[in-house]
């Protein structure tokens, strides 16, 4: 009976010691470690980029507008928007209006009368029956009549005329309507010189301020499998009042995109230097701060860092890092400062 009581007392004492954390020294294992995979810490740089969207448009110096040379009736329209035309191709046929035709006939008659009057005045001057001022006045009248006639001919008043493409181009707009009466200067057809286009994208002002002319751009047309290498030619100095965005022009290689085609553009605005680490090695703590884990002397060290550039599978970070200590790539979430580590990678401290 006494033996049973002694065993019960001993058991109770042991349980009390466990509850109060008073474990025997033999159970505290200082050799506990975490299995990790590391990579060397290296210096390098990555591009800082912005991603924007837009559409291809004719380059400003490639746009052409063909207008009515004078009051006329649209007799025929031979093209439509989006059509490619060769140099010299017929675009629109015009006929003079009745009023224009009448003005032309009157100008022809006036020019003939002025020419005859000049001839008679010169004959009279030769016979000493007219003065030099009279000859000069007749000459001026004849010259004015010829100028008026030439202007009407240039306006197409002499008869039907055809507007033709001055260069090989694409029709970007056709506003001519058959049988319509148009006045001088009315736009009829707008062209874009073939193979000359820009991608017009827009960025928020904070991003746009980082962009400068000459920045490299990778253009990915919607639905295409590849990308196009291009460069920024112009960054707007003001935001569009309607959208609040800043326009940016990107020069495209000839024939690389069709006018109106949409694309995504990745603009490289800078090369950022620092410590380049795998993206998976950058962790976030409970307060939202980023950090990495280095191994120094076989134990873990948590180092706060700032991500300068997030470049997909690699990041550029800045912080109080030891260039000689490797970065933990796998197993970092189990580590705290001072925890011992074991290397899963055969290269140990140095490699993957």
Instruction: Please report, for the chain, the start and end positions of each structural domain, with discontinuous segments joined by +.
Output: 33-46+272-343, 50-60+195-271, 61-193
- Global pTM reads 0.63
Do residues 83 and 165 lie in contact, with contact meaning Cβ atoms separated by under 8 Å?
no
- CATH no. of 61-193: 2.40.50.100
- For 303, phi then psi, to 5°, come to -120, 115
Do residues 164 and 189 lie in contact, with contact meaning Cβ atoms separated by under 8 Å?
no
User: Between 194 and 108, where is the model more confident?
Assistant: 108
Q: What is d(CA 327, CA 296) in angstroms, rounded to the nearest whole number?
A: 10
Q: Return the pLDDT at 25.
A: 35
Q: What is d(CA 89, CA 78) in angstroms, rounded to the nearest whole number?
A: 9
- DSSP 8-class letter at 326: P
- Percentage with pLDDT > 70 across the chain: 89
Alpha-carbon distances of 216 from 148, 238, 269, 274, 320, rounded to whole Å? 55, 22, 8, 21, 32
Other C-beta atoms closer than 10 Å to the C-beta of 271 total 12
Parallel, antiparallel or unpaired: strands 33-39 and 340-343: parallel
Note the CATH architecture for domain 33-46+272-343.
Beta Barrel (2.40)
Q: What is d(CA 69, CA 93) in angstroms, rounded to the nearest whole number?
A: 12
The 10s digit of each residue's pLDDT in 250-268 is: 999 988 888 889 999 999 9
Alpha-carbon distances of 223 from 200, 220, 262, 263, rounded to whole Å? 18, 8, 9, 9
Q: Which of 138, 71, 139 is nearest to 100 (CA)?
A: 71
| Options 1.10.1380.10, 3.30.70.260, 3.40.50.970, 2.40.30.170; CATH of 50-60+195-271 | 2.40.30.170
Q: What angle do CA 153, 99, 173 make, to 5 degrees?
A: 70
Q: What is d(CA 23, CA 56) in angstroms, rounded to the nearest whole number?
A: 74
The 10s digit of each residue's pLDDT in 53-106 is: 999 998 888 889 999 998 999 999 999 998 999 999 999 999 999 888 888 899
First CA to last CA across the chain, in angstroms?
A: 65
Q: Return the pLDDT at 87.
A: 93
Q: What is d(CA 308, CA 315) in angstroms, rounded to the nearest whole number?
A: 7
Report residue 12's pLDDT band, with 50, 70 and 90 as the boundaries: very low
Other C-beta atoms closer than 10 Å to the C-beta of 214 total 8
Q: Return the pLDDT at 341.
A: 85
Question: Is residue 291 pLDDT above 70, yes or no?
Answer: yes
Q: Return the pLDDT at 11.
A: 41
Q: What is the dihedral of CA 242, 244, 246, 247, to 10 degrees?
A: -30
- DSSP 8-class letter at 104: H
Q: Return the pLDDT at 17.
A: 39
154 sits in which H/E element:
helix 132-154
């Amino acid at each position: 009976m006494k033996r049973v009581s002694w065993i019960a007392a001993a058991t109770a004492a042991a349980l009390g010691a466990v509850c109060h954390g008073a474990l025997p020294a033999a159970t505290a294992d200082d050799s506990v470690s975490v299995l990790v995979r590391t990579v060397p810490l290296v210096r390098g740089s990555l591009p800082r980029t912005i991603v924007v969207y837009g559409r291809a448009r004719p380059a400003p110096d490639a746009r052409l507008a063909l207008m009515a040379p004078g009051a006329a009736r649209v007799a025929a329209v031979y093209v439509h928007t989006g059509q490619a035309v060769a140099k010299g191709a017929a675009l629109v046929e015009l006929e003079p209006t009745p009023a224009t035709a009448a003005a032309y006939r009157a100008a022809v008659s006036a020019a003939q009368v002025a020419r005859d009057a000049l001839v008679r005045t010169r004959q009279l001057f030769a016979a000493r029956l007219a003065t030099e001022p009279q000859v000069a006045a007749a000459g001026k009248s004849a010259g004015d009549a010829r100028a008026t006639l030439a202007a009407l001919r240039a306006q197409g008043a002499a008869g039907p005329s055809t507007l033709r493409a001055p260069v090989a181009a694409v029709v970007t707009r056709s506003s001519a309507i058959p049988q319509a009466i148009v006045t001088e200067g009315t736009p009829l057809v707008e062209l874009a010189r073939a193979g000359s286009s820009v991608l017009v994208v827009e960025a928020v002002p904070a991003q746009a301020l980082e962009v400068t002319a000459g920045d490299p751009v990778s253009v990915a047309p919607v639905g295409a499998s590849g990308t196009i290498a291009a460069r920024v030619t112009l960054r707007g100095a003001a935001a569009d009042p309607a959208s609040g965005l800043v326009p940016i022009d990107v020069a495209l290689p000839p024939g690389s995109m069709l006018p109106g085609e949409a694309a995504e553009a990745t603009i490289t605005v800078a090369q950022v230097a620092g410590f380049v680490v795998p993206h998976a090695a950058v962790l976030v703590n409970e307060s939202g701060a980023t950090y990495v884990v280095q191994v120094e002397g076989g134990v873990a060290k948590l180092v706060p860092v700032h991500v300068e550039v997030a470049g997909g599978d690699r990041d550029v970070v800045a912080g109080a890092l030891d260039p000689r200590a490797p970065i933990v790539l796998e197993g970092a979430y189990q580590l705290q400062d001072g925890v011992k580590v074991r290397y899963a990678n055969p290269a140990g401290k140095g490699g993957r």
